[in-house]
Amino acid sequence: MNVGVIGLGKMGLPIARNLMARGMAVTGFRRSGCDDLVASGGVGAASPAAVAAVADVLLSIVPDAQAVDDVVCGPEGTLRTLRPGTVHIEMSTIDVASKTRLRDAVRAAGGDMLDCPISGSPGMVAPRLATTFVSGDRDSVEAVRPVLEAISGPWVYTGAFGTGASMKYVANMLIGIHTVAAAEAMVLAGRFGLDLELVQNTLDTSIASSAIFKQRGPVMRTRQWTPAPGPIETLHAILEQIADAAAGTELPVFAAAKTVFDKAMADGWNQLDISAVHDQLAGAAPTLGAPA
């Protein structure tokens, strides 16, 4: 099976490597080049259209709705060469309306598209610890089951097309809230003069903890915000989508957490790890590496 992977960034490249580790051939495209893919045993292509011309299954994971539109409908998009029956696994986190429009265009060309955002940081992809939320036509899901199982860790079928994106929104809402809550806890503990390592070790096994506290608490203790496993700008873009999708719904805790990330973006902290909101709450200037 030849899987075409479009978007070979922090998420796409380890996904491609996971596919190859399961014995699948991968043909890929990235605007900045495919050297890393080729070095890993894949084949580079000159455009999304060139990928679609040879791929049995397509997979795309790119930054935003415009990029997905370019991949599918652009002058060198997949629709130009899409083979009948091809299933396109679309993993980008974009609004459901945009993705539904693209799904309809793919269907009109004789293929199908699944909405399959992935939940997890880039570092979770290679060791297969990330979760894929799969939504769309069940027959199409079954047709690409081997690919879904090879992408990265578990996958769950969430239902009709678009429910994958909705599940991703719920997950990322909690990530934003839990990150701010963990940061508040660490700030308060510091102001109380508590030993932060003791706080971490004590709470990690208590009902008060969370996966975010366990993962990001140590980062907050050292205040080492770069290199960022999860940049603020990446999460913030999704929080903006959530706010739009949830318009009219009372989400006071989410709104409060988003305000913290809004300020971090306004202050130019885009590339710092999400745990850097600790310094937003503490009123501190962020460190850009390990503290002296």
Q: Is the pLDDT of residue 221 over 80?
A: yes
For 37, residues 6+ apart whose C-beta sits below 8 A from its C-beta are 5, 8, 13, 16, 26, 28, 30, 43, 44
pLDDT tens digit sequence for 59-85:
999 999 999 999 999 999 999 999 999
* Mean pLDDT in residue range 128-133: 96
Please give the Cα distance from 125 to 15 (Å, whole number).
Answer: 7
Thinking of the domain 2-161, which architecture would CATH place it in? Answer: 3-Layer(aba) Sandwich (3.40)
Please give the Cα distance from 63 to 239 (Å, whole number).
Answer: 14
Closest to 42 in 3D by CA, of 69, 72, 6, 70? 6
* Mean pLDDT in residue range 87-92: 98
Asked whether the whole model's pTM tops 0.85, one would answer yes
Q: 48-68 b/e with 16+ CB inside 10 Å = b?
A: bbbbbbebbbbbbbbeebebb
pLDDT of amino acid 289? 54
- List the domain boundaries for the chain: 2-161, 166-282
Q: What superfamily does domain 166-282 belong to in CATH? A: N-(1-d-carboxylethyl)-l-norvaline Dehydrogenase; domain 2 (1.10.1040.10)
pLDDT of amino acid 292? 33
pLDDT tens digit sequence for 224-235:
999 998 999 999
What is the residue whose two structure tokens read 């070979």? Answer: 8
What is the residue whose two structure tokens read 């693209």? Answer: 102
pLDDT tens digit sequence for 111-121:
999 999 999 88
